[in-house]
A = this chain, B = another copy of it.
Amino acid sequence: MSEIPYKIYLEESEMPRAWYNVRSAMKVKPAPLLNPATLRPMTADDLRPVFCDELIAQELDDTTEYFPIPEEIRNFYKMYRPSPLVRAYCLEKELGTPAKIYYKFEGNNTSGSHKLNSAIAQAYYAKKQGLRGVTTETGAGQWGTALSMACAYLGLDCKVFMVKVSYEQKPFRREVMRTYGADVTPSPSMTTAVGRKILEEFPGTGGSLGCAISEAVEAATTHEGYRYVLGSVLNQVLLHQSIIGLECKTALDKYGVKPDIIIGCAGGGSNLGGLISPFVGEQLRGEANYRFIAVEPASCPSLTRGKFAYDYCDTGMVCPLAKMYTLGSGFMPAPNHAGGLRYHGMNTVLSQLHADGLLEARSVEQTKVFEAAERFARCEGILPAPESSHAIRAAIDEALLCRETGEEKTILFGLTGTGYFDMTAYGQYNDGKMTDDIPTDEDLARGFASMPRIDI
């Protein structure tokens, strides 16, 4: 076997030509989305006013194994993909571990994360349907940036509702979106009925993701030629993000490497799901035996402390219900939690895999996450996003275990993005002012109380 280089780049000709739909391999399929009005499974017709037609088809399809990637999307991918699969030689040395560590780095594009993989797909189908534009919400701004880039490339209008407090505190992200021609509105705003209502009720509020979602959905359904798009949680997003895992597998196969452990951070599940999809497929077909680990923040522990039940996907309770691990749509993670991954629920595929015992989960505290981030940055060069650093923490912990046991395990983790726009959080950590804020059982009980009382 030839020596493993620091970075494995696939050739353009080796890039995946189809996305992999992991649901096709699952014996127990993820439970269907429910219509909040009727409590019956959502149909394509139910979804059509809000989402693009082809994306609805992808969302509801749990049998088709592969979806061909349209050529225009593949060409866009070629501008920033294949992303490198990196052998973390320097981290291994720093840890003194016999483990072999690999990470798939998705941060080498202007959006700074893997979000672009699905943004271009969703924008493409909107364009193909002849729409004028798309609407979405964004918190910190990663998804909004990715969508702005995709829309600029395709000449599609892009309306982003950005949580007002982030709009004001993160002016740089906002400026990036504007540079890509997006229309960025601080939410709540006077441009929607729901925004005006919230502003009347709570004048001066800094907004929330739930409120921004409601505004984006309203804007999509009240403007001719617009649809709403979303950067995580949905199964279509997992499908698009399978490009991460597919590239990974091709690169590892070239060098005859089989990982023992595959680790990803988990908020809504887009990155973790995309990374592990093809590997899970192998496992479900009985062709491999991997350990999959989801890493979530201790301050928002949906998989490790949540319930597996039907719940609202959004705080505003206008979106469909999903059966997932959830803390309740009313759960609010501590405000000083810097690491993203603040979603109260989890994608339904990943939830089902966890319920079936295929996907482990663990939670980590944010000071431990930033400690790992800094250690990683100093030896591997890359300054990781706080979200991604959850996976780094778990990878380091597993590698240190190997140092104790002497096992030469192969660890693969997803490095979803860079932390260039998260320096306020790094500053807090550098100044020793970061706290962990783990929710108490009472905090969780308040969240669970917001869940629907449905017996299905």
Neighbour of A176 across the interface among B109, B172, B176, B423, CB < 8 A = B423
- Bound state CA distance, A45 and B146, in angstroms? 54
Q: Which residue of B lies closest to A420 (CB)?
A: B420
Task: Tell yes or no: A290 within 8 A of B by CB.
Answer: no
A427 touches B381 (CB 8 A): no
B78 touches A6 (CB 8 A): yes
Task: Tell yes or no: A430 within 8 A of B by CB.
Answer: yes
B383 touches A181 (CB 8 A): no
Contacts of A406 in B (CB 8 A): none
Interface string of A98-114 (1 = CB under 8 A from B): 00000000001110100
A381 touches B12 (CB 8 A): no
Known pairs A12-B6, A79-B90, A423-B171; A110 contacts B377 (CB<8 A):
yes
B6 touches A426 (CB 8 A): no
Contacts of A6 in B (CB 8 A): 12, 75, 78-79
Task: Tell yes or no: A125 within 8 A of B by CB.
Answer: no
Chain B min CB distance to A288 (Å):
28
Q: Which residue of B lies closest to A382 (CB)?
A: B110
Chain B min CB distance to A426 (Å):
5
In the complex, the count of this chain's copies comes to 2
Task: Tell yes or no: A448 within 8 A of B by CB.
Answer: no
Interface centre among A89, A172, A426 (most CB of B within 10 A): A172
B110 touches A152 (CB 8 A): no
B381 touches A149 (CB 8 A): yes
B427 touches A175 (CB 8 A): yes
A381 touches B423 (CB 8 A): no
Q: Which residue of B lies closest to A380 (CB)?
A: B79
Task: Tell yes or no: A418 within 8 A of B by CB.
Answer: yes
Contacts of A153 in B (CB 8 A): 90, 378-379, 381
Task: Tell yes or no: A130 within 8 A of B by CB.
Answer: no
Task: Tell yes or no: A5 within 8 A of B by CB.
Answer: yes
- Bound state CA distance, A430 and B153, in angstroms? 18
Chain B min CB distance to A447 (Å):
33
A180 touches B110 (CB 8 A): no
Q: Which residue of B lies closest to A145 (CB)?
A: B383
A108 touches B110 (CB 8 A): no
Q: Which residue of B lies closest to A4 (CB)?
A: B12
A110 touches B12 (CB 8 A): no
- Bound state CA distance, A112 and B112, in angstroms? 12
A383 touches B176 (CB 8 A): yes
Task: Tell yes or no: A305 within 8 A of B by CB.
Answer: no
Task: Tell yes or no: A179 within 8 A of B by CB.
Answer: yes
Task: Tell yes or no: A29 within 8 A of B by CB.
Answer: no
Task: Tell yes or no: A17 within 8 A of B by CB.
Answer: no
Interface string of A413-437 (1 = CB under 8 A from B): 0000010110110110010000000
Chain B min CB distance to A73 (Å):
13
Task: Tell yes or no: A7 within 8 A of B by CB.
Answer: yes
A426 touches B383 (CB 8 A): no
* Chain A stretch 1-26: residues in CB contact (< 8 A) with chain B: 5-7, 9, 11-12
Chain B min CB distance to A309 (Å):
40
Interface string of A167-182 (1 = CB under 8 A from B): 0000110011011110
Chain A residues with a Cβ under 8 A of chain B? 5-7, 9, 11-12, 75, 78-80, 89-90, 108-110, 112, 149, 152-153, 171-172, 175-176, 178-181, 374, 377-383, 418, 420-421, 423-424, 426-427, 430
Given contact pairs A152-B379, A172-B420, a sample of 16 additional A-B residue pairs in the complex whose CB atoms are under 8 Å apart: A6-B79, A9-B9, A79-B90, A79-B381, A80-B381, A110-B382, A110-B420, A171-B427, A172-B421, A172-B423, A172-B424, A175-B426, A175-B427, A179-B377, A179-B383, A420-B421
5 A-B pairs in the complex with CB atoms less than 8 angstroms apart? A7-B79, A110-B418, A176-B383, A176-B426, A179-B423
